[in-house]
Amino acid sequence: MAVAACHSVGHDRWVAGFDELIGRIAHRFGRVEPRRRVRAMLLGLLAGLPKVNCWTIAEHAGETSPDGMQYLLSRARWDADGVRDDLRDYVIEHLGDQGAVLVVDETGDMKKGSHTVGVQRQYTGTAGRIENAQVVVYLTYATADAHAFLDRALYLPRSWVQDVQRCIVAGVPAGTSFATKPALAQAMIVRALDAGVPACWVGGDEVYGQDPQLRAELEARGVGYVLGSPLPTGSAPTPGCFRPSRWRKGCRPRCGRPTAADPAPRATATTRGPWSTWTSRPPVAGC
């Protein structure tokens, strides 16, 4: 009985917190119907369904067809970027930490057809090979206690940008230009930092580490980073390079800044297997 009571209290607190978050984004939806449906969709996504699509989520919500869920995603008018900003503020309110890390990475959703925006045969880490897929770059906020989603940007290949009619049919906004994955990541990082998101580090793999403009932006802002960068086969370590793991021995908790006892160059490439890691420490004031 006591265990059941505790479970009930915990569930009630979770529902209350969930409804509080839904309340914060409610004004981004002009009508009550999409507000209610987005709540049902989010509950379906969190329900641990064995297969997640509009059919299964609609069934979980007690609806007889997926039409309403599909309408919410494809035709309903609501402020997606506004919801993103509300979610970012919510995350920082609960997890904000000056020693946090902004992590950039992309993921692919494999598709069968050719009509989904941005779909083409391209490499996706989801499958570990080239597949017909849609790729999205994500920005995650990570602290010592938890991590949470902050932002997203769809990668639109050149083949799409150059096909104006295809973009019109798919609903791509007019004037959309091609942007590389690092450029998308940089735009999201800048948007987060400009909004006052506290973070001391940026992390990412070699897709982002080989982009000099992204590294230069972080250097200019005094934000530390650990970014992968491919090395030619058989390359030797750069003289005087160091591993990021060395920093942890002489640093304050949750801060990657080396102390005088463990000096390191401002930016260097660290060999790790077939990859190197661009590493730049933030200035003292940044942590």
User: 273 to each of 5, 105, 230, 246, 277, how far by Cα in Å?
Assistant: 52, 20, 10, 17, 10
pLDDT of residue 256: 38
Q: In the predicted model, is pLDDT for residue 25 greater than 60?
A: yes
For residue range 131-173, list pLDDT tens digits in order.
999 999 999 999 999 999 999 999 999 999 999 999 999 989 9
Alpha helices in the chain (DSSP H): 2-25, 32-45, 54-60, 67-74, 80-95, 158-161, 164-170, 181-194, 206-209, 212-221, 244-247
Q: Which amino acid is at 250?
A: G
Q: What is the pLDDT of residue 128?
A: 87
Give every CB contact of residue 45 below 8 A, 6+ residues apart in sequence: 52, 57
Query: Residue 208's pLDDT band (boundaries 50, 70, 90)?
Result: very high
Q: What is the mean pLDDT of residues 24-37?
A: 94
Determine the pLDDT at residue 264: 37
Q: What is the pLDDT of residues 239-258, one digit of tens each?
A: 333 344 444 433 333 333 43
Cα–chain center distance at 246: 27
> pLDDT category, 127, cuts 50, 70, 90?
confident
For range 211-215, the mean pLDDT: 94
Q: For residue 272, name the pLDDT band (cuts at 50, 70, 90).
A: very low
Model confidence at 83, pLDDT cuts 50, 70, 90, reads: very high
Query: Is residue 81 scored above 50 in pLDDT?
Result: yes
Residue with the larger pLDDT of the pair 127 and 61: 61
Spans of all domains in the chain: 1-78, 79-286
pLDDT at residue 54, as a whole number:
95
Give the pLDDT score at 253: 32
